[in-house]
Amino acid sequence: MDVRRAQEIASSPVMANVTYNGQRIYIEHVDQQKGVATIHPLDNPKQKQSVPVASLEEHA
């Protein structure tokens, strides 16, 4: 995924189907300068982590 699309998803009120390492996640914030997103699994909002935006995958 590119940084622009990750930012669109993070800003959208509509939930997108995005995974990180096969796990469905929620994108909380995108740092466009660093190309990193703060995410958490849908089933565990307290498990936040920062990952490269390129490692995120959007599913239709």
Tokens 């936040």 — which residue?
A: 48
Report d(CA 16, CA 44) in Å as an integer: 17
User: pLDDT at position 32, please?
Assistant: 96
Q: Which tokens is 55 given?
A: 């490692």
Which residues are within 8 A (CB) of 5 and not within 5 positions of it... i.e. 6 or more apart? 58
Residue range(s) defining the domain that contains residue 6: 1-56
Which DSSP letter does residue 34 get?
Answer: T
Domains held by the chain: number: 1
Which residues are within 8 A (CB) of 10 and not within 5 positions of it... i.e. 6 or more apart? 27, 28, 29, 30, 37
Per residue of the chain (60 residues), give pLDDT as tens.
999 999 999 999 999 999 999 999 999 999 999 999 999 999 999 999 999 999 999 998
pTM of the model: 0.93
